[in-house]
Structure 1
Amino acid sequence: MSPEPAVSDWFVSSYSGPRNNSCVEVRFTNQGTEVRDTKNRAAGTLAFGADRWSAFLRALRG
């Protein structure tokens, strides 16, 4: 039996905008990063490998 992946607690992304009420939550795992909609957590998550998550953040920073 393989060990469970290490998972951080969910936190609200610093890129979420309080003015437009669009918040996403993020957590880190051994496999990468997961993202979900704060208002619709039951809808599931998007999972990104570490390399894709880094590329995404670089694109946001421009």
Structure 2
Amino acid sequence: MANPLQFIQQVRSEVAKIVWPTRREVVLTTVMVFLMASLASVFFFLVDLIIRQGLNVVLGV
């Protein structure tokens, strides 16, 4: 088992390697996620609509 002091030093050295994203990067990726989620929801809505209409035609409802 490692020495607790050595463990803390290793944790500090690993934390120092972390590169946090800039505010601009966070905003940009957040906007991209919302945009892609919106596009996916519209796509699946249209696919569902087409499948529903096709089934209505096939089943003669």
Bucket of the pairwise TM-score, normalised by the shorter protein: under 0.3
1 or 2 for the larger relative contact order (CA 8 Å, sep ≥6)? 1
TM-score, reference length from structure 2: 0.25
Larger strand proportion, structure 1 or 2? 1
TM-score, reference length from structure 1: 0.24
Larger helix proportion, structure 1 or 2? 2
Higher gyration radius (CA): 2
